[in-house]
Amino acid sequence: MAQSLKFRQIVLSNRLTSLGLLVVIASVSVGVAFAIFGARVTPYDPFVLNLQESNLPPSISHLFGTDFQGRDVFSRVIAALPIDLGLPIAIVLLSSVLGMFLGMTAGYMGGVVDEVIMRITDLFLAFPTIIMVLAVAATLGPGLVNAMFAFVFVWWPPYVRLVRGGVLEVAAEDFISISKALNSSFSHIILKGILPNIMPSVLTYATLDVGTALLEVSILGFLGIGIPPNTPELGVMVGSISYGLYTYPWQALFPAFVTMLLVIGFSFLGEGVREASDVKVRPYILFKGRTFKKATKAAPQVAAAH
Amino acid sequence: MRDLFTGNFGIDPLTGQTILSEILFYLPNTLELVLFSFIIIIIVGVAIGYQAGMHFSTLRDSVARITYLVSWSTPMYLAAIVAILLFANYIPIFPSGGMYSLSIAPPPPVTGIFLIDALIALDMTAFVSGVQHLILPALALAFVNFGLISRAVRSSILNVRWSTYVKTARAKGLTEREVRRKHILRNALVDATSLSAVIFGWVLTSTLVVEELFAWPGLGQFAYQAIFSNDYPVLIPIVVVFTFGVIVANFVADVAYSILDPRIGMGANGAVT
């Protein structure tokens, strides 16, 4: 308990990390609010065309201006949050579950199974991500679910490597061999012995990965493949402007900057958590003006993470 | 399978040309862009990561971290759009797209890479025009992709900074400069090298967006058009070429790895051990 308290303190003592956490919490709650209440939480209906008010510059009544069909860009950005947060989170969740399953199988079984799984993983890792996603999404046709599967198809290999490495490390520890000697069941060793020890590194990687997935999803939308046109999605909103860029830059800039803000939130958060769980670096992090080592007057902590 | 390795990709159903000749036309342009921005990425990335690592937990570290985290979180299209709007529209110092001015006759193709061809033909106006058109897309590519290198350099510096062998080096009486260059930076570069292959792959695939926005006649734009016209016979070879590029980059990084780090040797069968 003391360990986790300190961990939380370190994470929150870093202003960048707290900022990231704030951005993530705020955007997720707005996204959830829109998903539940729909257009009632936005100043205008993001789906209704109003051609009389098309291409208006940003003003007080239209915070981010309006797009070429007169829809309020600010409302559309809010409407995009459930998709732009939900899709990456779903992608990372599915990929990490798949990756944990394959990685634990490979790491724990070893031998031929390990060899086969890892060679397949290497094969998938060699393909450039976004190109493969584009090819798969173009084949599957437009649709949010299709886009998600296109991503999961190429997103899982890093998780397999991460989990397998962790399993190999943990499985060599004494407590696992003791556990085996005590005739613990297979599922007990996996769930109680190995899983808790690899979860921190997976979670850290996943936090950063949500940001990356968000970027790639919006790039997919920008290129206009996989995600249906006219969907309120940040990348789609940027991509639909290419001809009026010089005249109506706000239509592209605001959604693009919001994308950046969201990704920054996840990056700052993930980065801070990663740093705080790094045993070698943690004692030297400045904590209330002193290094953490001095602040606790203790030897470098042996962290549960890693 | 033999056709795949001999480069016989068949004929583009849209243009009627062989796909290989089309790829060979577009590939040098992409290589020019990617290599140029890759050089910027390595230099800037290592410099920023080094500054952050050596000044850990201070203001300089925070600024460097914010810089690379923000750059890393920037969508590729945002960097390109802002670059176009700022430096081609509001402050028109660079052209907004294309590979060279339309008023210039391109130099005779020797290597296919525009800048090198211009140098061979001693055509300075073409060379200057080429560089002018290259700067904006290359900077946009570099800005988005340098973050990972900085982060790797920073974290490997943090890993070695307080280690015993650095203390030993200081105790031996080496100057601070020597310690930093030979013992800290060199170790940091090992990690950066292995990552540079990943970065190369990212830059290569980022060309999809950048080439589209900057109207750069490269492989990314070709791929984009192929996807849009459902031109699968063309798309498959392009994916192969991109993948091949990433594999070659990985191989080069592995070789560079063994040169930088003498502990890593080549195994008997050529595999890096």
Q: How far is B252 from chain A (nearest CA, A)?
A: 14
Two tokens, residue A265: 């939130």
**Residues of A whose CB is below 8 A from B97:** none
Residues B127, A117: Cα–Cα separation, whole Å: 50
Identify the sign of the CA torsion A266, B211, A141, A73: positive
pLDDT at B187 over 60: yes
- pLDDT tens digits along A187-208: 888 888 888 888 888 888 898 8
Mean pLDDT (chain B, rounded): 84
Tell me: pLDDT of A263 over 70: yes
Helices within chain B (DSSP H only)? 2-6, 19-54, 59-73, 76-84, 114-120, 124-145, 147-161, 164-171, 176-178, 186-213, 219-228, 232-260
In the predicted model, what is the mean pLDDT of residues B188-214?
Answer: 86
State residue A290's pLDDT score: 55
Four-residue CA torsion sign, B1, B7, B13, B16: negative
Alpha helices in chain A (DSSP H): 2-13, 15-37, 73-109, 111-126, 129-140, 144-155, 157-171, 174-181, 186-188, 195-223, 234-239, 250-276, 292-296
DSSP A52: G
> Which tokens is B132 given?
């002018």
Work out the minimum CA distance from B159 to partner chain A, whole angstroms: 7
pLDDT band of residue B271 (cuts 50, 70, 90) is very low
Q: How many CA atoms lie within 13 A of B115 on its CB side?
A: 14
The contacts of residue B209 (CB under 8 Å, 6+ apart) are A219, A222, A223, B76, B77, B80, B220
Q: Which of A132, A135, A281 sits opposite B158 (nearest CB)?
A: A281
Yes or no, beta carbons of A263 and B212 under 8 Å apart: no
Choose the closest CB to A128 out of B74, B75, B201.
B201
Phi and psi at residue A14, to the nearest 5°: -85, 120
pLDDT of A71 strictly over 80: yes
So what's the pLDDT on residue A304? 41
Query: Which of A27, A131, A292 has the most B C-beta neighbours within 10 Å, making it the best mutation to test the interface with B?
Result: A131
Interface contact A238, partner B, CB < 8 A:
yes
Q: Say yes or no to pLDDT of A300 above 80.
A: no
Note whether A131 contacts B: Cβ–Cβ < 8 A: yes
> What pLDDT, on the 0 to 100 scale, is given for residue B78?
93
Dump the DSSP string for B58-90: SHHHHHHHHHHHHHHHS-HHHHHHHHHIIIIII
* Closest alpha carbon to B255 in B232, B272, B243, B235: B272
Q: Least CB-CB distance to A131: which of B56, B65, B242?
A: B242
DSSP 3-state of A286:
strand
Diameter over CA atoms, chain B: 70
* Partner-chain residue, chosen from A211, A256, A266, that has the shortest CB–CB distance to B78: A256
Most distant pair of Cα atoms in chain A: their distance: 77
- How many angstroms separate the CA of residue B259 from the nearest CA in chain A? 23
Q: Are residues B258 and B272 in contact, defined by beta-carbon separation less than 8 angstroms?
A: yes
Using the predicted structure, report yes or no on whether residue A244 has a pLDDT greater than 50.
yes
- Whole-number Cα distances in Å, B204 to A54, A304, B37, B200, B209: 37, 38, 10, 6, 10
pLDDT digits (tens, 9 = 90+) for B81-106: 999 999 988 888 888 888 887 777 77
**Best to test chain B binding among A125, A130, A271 (most B CBs inside 10 Å):** A130
Residues in B touching A16 (Cβ below 8 Å): 62, 65-66, 69
Residues of B in contact with A278 (CB under 8 A): 155, 158
Tell me the chain A residues in contact with residue B208 when contact means C-beta distances shorter than 8 Å. Answer: 130-131, 134, 219, 223
Give residue B96's Cα distance to chain centre: 21
Please give the C-alpha separations between residue B19 and each of B27, B170, B241, in angstroms, as whole numbers. Answer: 12, 59, 12
A104-138: pLDDT as tens digits: 999 888 889 999 999 999 888 878 888 888 888 88
Cβ distance of A223 and B208 shorter than 8 Å: yes
Find tokens 């001095």 and name the residue. Answer: A294
Question: Are A53 and A66 a contacting pair, CB within 8 Å?
Answer: yes
Judge contact between B104 and B129, C-beta under 8 A: yes
Q: What is the DSSP letter of A192?
A: I
Q: Which long-range contacts (CB under 8 A, 24 or more apart) does A240-243 make?
A: A240/A67, A240/A68, A241/A67, A241/A68, A242/B213
Q: For residues A101 and A4, give the distance between their C-alpha atoms in angstroms, rounded to a whole number.
A: 27
The count of residues in chain B is 273
Enumerate chain B positions whose Cβ falls within 8 A of a Cβ in A. 56-57, 62, 65-66, 69-70, 72-78, 81-82, 84-85, 89, 151, 155, 158-159, 162, 201, 204-205, 208-209, 212-213, 223-224, 227-228, 230, 235, 238-239, 242-243, 246-247, 250
Q: Which secondary-structure segment (H or E) carries A290?
A: strand A290-291
Structure-model confidence comparison of residues A56 and A31, the more confident one: A31
Query: What pLDDT, on the 0 to 100 scale, is given for residue A151?
Result: 93
Cα of A145 to nearest chain B Cα, Å = 19
pLDDT digits (tens, 9 = 90+) for B137-175: 999 999 999 988 998 898 888 888 888 888 888 888 888
Residue pair A65/A57 in contact by the 8 Å Cβ criterion: yes
Contacts A286 to B, Cβ<8 Å: 57
pLDDT at position A282 over 70: no
Separation of alpha carbons B139 and B187, rounded Å:
27
The one-letter code for the residue type at A52 is Q
The answer to whether B205 contacts A126, with C-beta atoms less than 8 Å apart, is no
Q: Is pLDDT above 70 for B70? A: yes
Distance CA B98, CA B96 (A): 7
Mutation for testing the A interface, residue in B86, B205, B246, B272 having most A CBs under 10 Å: B205
Q: Which residues of B touch A128 (CB under 8 A)?
A: 201, 204-205, 239, 242-243, 246
d(CA B136, CA A278): 38
Q: Residue B211 has which token pair?
A: 């080439």
Is residue B124 predicted with pLDDT exceeding 80? yes
SS3 A257: helix
Torsion of CA B49, B53, B55, B61, to 10 degrees: 60
DSSP tag of B266: B
Distance from CA of B154 to the nearest CA of A (A): 11
* Nearest residue to A23 via CA among A214, A198, A264: A264
Does the distance separating the beta carbons of A215 and B155 come in below 8 Å?
Answer: no
A248: tokens are 């109506």
Considering only CB atoms, B208 lies closest to which of A130, A235, A284, namely A130
**Residue with tokens 């890593």, as numbered in its chain:** B264
Extract the tokens encoding B123. 């055509």
Predicted confidence (pLDDT) per residue in A145-189, tens digit: 999 999 999 999 999 999 998 888 888 888 888 888 888 888 888
pTM: 0.83
Q: Which residues pair with B11 in a beta bridge?
A: B18
pLDDT-based confidence at residue B120 (cuts at 50, 70, 90) = confident
For the segment B235-250, the average pLDDT, to the nearest whole number, is 85
Q: B214-223, B232-241, B263-272 — which one is most confidently predicted on average? A: B214-223
Task: For A290, name the nearest residue in chain B, comparing CA atoms only.
Answer: B57
How far apart are the C-alpha atoms of A240 and A71, rounded to whole Å?
13
Distance CA A162, CA A300 (A): 25
- The per-residue pLDDT for B273 is 40
Helix (H) or strand (E) holding A287: strand A286-287
Considering only A207-211, B50-54, B255-259, which range has the smallest mean pLDDT? B255-259
**B196, B195, B199, B213: which is closest to B76 by C-alpha?**
B213
**Cross-strand partners of A66:** A72
Cα dihedral A269, A275, A278, A279 in deg (nearest 10): -130
Q: Which residues of chain B are within 8 Å of residue A260 when distances are taken between CB atoms?
A: 70, 73-75, 78
pLDDT digits (tens, 9 = 90+) for A266-277: 988 888 887 777
User: ipTM of this predicted complex?
Assistant: 0.80
Tell which residue, A185, A35, A175, A193, has the closest CA to residue A104: A193
